[in-house]
Structures are given as C-alpha cells and as structure tokens.
Amino acid sequence: MRVYLLVMLTAAAVTFLVTPLVRRLARLTRALTPVRSRDVHTVPTPRLGGLAMLAGLAVALLVASRVPFLDEVFSETSTAWAILGGAALVCLLGVADDIWDLDWMTKLAGQVLAAGFMAWQGVQLITFPIFGLTIGSSRLSLFATILVVVVAINAVNFVDGLDGLAAGMIAIGGGAFFVYSYLLTRDASPGNYANLATAVIAALVGVCLGFLPHNFNPAKIFMGDSGAMLLGLTVAAAAIVVTGQIDPATVNTTAVLPAYVPIVLPVAVLLLPLLDMTLAVFRRMRAGQSPFHPDRMHLHHRLLDLGHSHRRAVLILYLWTAVFAFTAVALAVIPTAYVAAGAGAAVVVAAVITYNQLPGLRGRRARAEVARHATAGPAG
C-alpha cells in the first residue's frame, strides 16, 4: 500500500507544481476559454491543464517502474507505456483543440486513433470476469476496446462544465476503484500485491488531487479537452486492465469478491458522466442537432437552475459519485443486504441535499434571497 501511496503522492506533487507553468503557457498561446452563453465563468480562463496532468502521470509511472515492488509488472509487459502513450496522444489532441477549437469529427477521429494505439499495444478487452466470458474475435475485441475508451473519453469531457467538477469526480471514483483493485489483487494473489491497474489508478487519483487546488472554484485554470480526454482514457484503460488480468476461476465469488463487480465499478465511477452524455446526445439528436452541439442543459446546469451555488452544485455531484462508486466497492467486501440498506440510506440523503430540503437550508436560502433583494433595492 505504501508504494501505491508514493505513486499517488508523486503524481499529485508533479501536477501541482507544473500547473502554474502550464497556465503561463496557455496565456502565451492564447489558449483561453472565452465567456460563452452556456458557461458559468465570468472572465476568460486559461486551459491546457491536461499538459500538467500528463506530466504528473508520466513521472508517477516512471517512479513506479523503478520501485522494486512494482518492477515485475512493468518489465513483463509494455502495458503501462501503452496507456501512457495513448494518454499522450489524446492529450496532444486536446491541446490542439484547446488552442484552435477543432471540429467534433476531427476530435472523434483522434480519439479513435489514440484508443486504437492502446489496443494495438495490447490494452484490449478480451475477457469479462462474468462466467468466464471471452470475446471470440480479435476484430471484435479491437472494436469493443475502442468503443469503451471513446465513450469514457467523451463522458468525462461532457461533464467537465464547472470548476473542479471533472477532476473531483474522477478523484473520488478513482479512489473507490483504487480500493477495489487493491482488494482484488490481494484476494487473487495473496503473496504478491503488485498490480499495474492499481498503480495506474493511484497515479490518476494523484493527478486529479494535484490539479484540484488550481481548478476548484474560482478556477485559475481549466483542464480543457486535453485534461478531460486524458482522464477518460486512463480510467477506461485501468478498467480494461482489471477485467483482463484476473482469472474468474481464482476469485471466491461466494464470499468477498463478486465476479461482476469489475464490470459494475467502472460504470459506477463514470455513471454521472455517462448519464449526462446519454441525455445530451438524445436531447440534441431529438432537436435535429449534432450530438456534440453544446448547450446549457447538463446535470450541473440543472443544479444551478435549482438555486445551488457553483461550489454547492459541484459538491453535490461529488456526493453522488461517492455514493455510486463506493456502493459498488462495498459489494465486494460486505454482504449484499447490508450494502443495499446502506446505499438506500445514502441515496435518500443525497437526494434530500440535491433538492435543498434539509432542515434549515430552505430558511437560509430564503434569508439570503431577502438580503440580496434588500441590497439590490436602493441601487434600483
């Protein structure tokens, strides 16, 4: 565990230190997010944050590869470097978009190429830890891998609409993923806890934690497409590695590690981004628009419309992410009946907070509204 925490801390430290340099670069290259009708920020803000994230991920994986504990998982295969290569490709694609605003077809083609590169290097969906299912065709495996990666990339990209939202959600969901991957490795190979997916997800969580101090409201820099696409690809890659490296026959499904959790957990981690993306695609296609046509009807916009502040809307989405992700993890270590009871209670609390009905909140909101009108009255 200490080695994984070292990887996480390395990623966080490098990302935190490099981000101010990237912010200066964004200003020099005019990679600024303008104030648009669908946005909530009030001044043009630097982007390109994905470059700092890529630096943190690269240094963390390099450090991990030099640690004797993890040397075997890095030396036996090139999977880690394939993931880093795919992350670099999609990050550079995002940099180009952050500077020149590429059209959606160009971005989609670049995403497919980055996902295809990873798959070509061996990061592929081949087996599912559910009843030992195996994809019988190499072409189908390649298609499934690219599809999963591209969907994850765009899911994170769609939800990146408020300061600190995407980074915080991936940090929370990734934290749950890290706990599960560590427990799964410990159960499957009791004598050796070294695991590539755990190291990659630890680095990813560290990257998000290092970027958040610069990105939380009010944000000094945005991650941009370069960061959002990097996060989506890396989460998908870690999930693919997990599903492919654990033999379902070695997992004790009757006690602590239900075999279906490796499939449920990545979906739970990205559930809100996936839901937001699905709703946006249907909404836009029904209106006769491109699925990538921007609008102001995302989940975070709806929370703002309910009267939540910028920070409160972000924290509410953090809460829902934690509920879904850690419920999925709990399925691996706690009896299902207890998980269901706990998850039900958590959903009720999260729903109450979402709709601003906790005792005292309505009164506080009303007093704030009265004060706002009292302040604005004389000026009018």
- The candidate with the shortest Cα–Cα distance to 165, out of 8, 11, 315, is 315
Q: Kindly report the number of other CB atoms within 10 A of residue 38's CB atom.
A: 11
Cα dihedral value 95, 219, 298, 328, nearest 10: 90
Q: Work out the end-to-end distance of the chain between its first and last CA atoms, rounded to an integer number of angstroms.
A: 60
CA distances from 201 to 77, 168, 349 (A): 17, 14, 28
Tokens 């370069």 label which residue? 226
Tokens 């005019």 label which residue? 30
| Residue 275, amino acid | L
Tokens 């295809």 label which residue? 116
Sequential DSSP letters for 58-124: HHHHHHHHHSGGGHHHHHS-SHHHHHHHHHHHHHHHHHHHHHH---HHHHHHHHHHHHHHHHHTT--
- 192 known ligand binder: no
- 217 known ligand binder: no
Contacting residues for 180 by C-beta, under 8 A, at least 6 apart: 261, 265, 328, 329, 332
Rounded to whole angstroms, how far apart are CA atoms 84 and 86? 5
What are the two backbone dihedrals, phi and then psi, of residue 103, each rounded to the nearest 5 degrees? Answer: -75, 160
**β-pair type (127-128, 133-134):** antiparallel
Which residue ranges make up the annotated binding site for Mg(2+)?
157, 225
Which residue ranges make up the annotated binding site?
157, 225
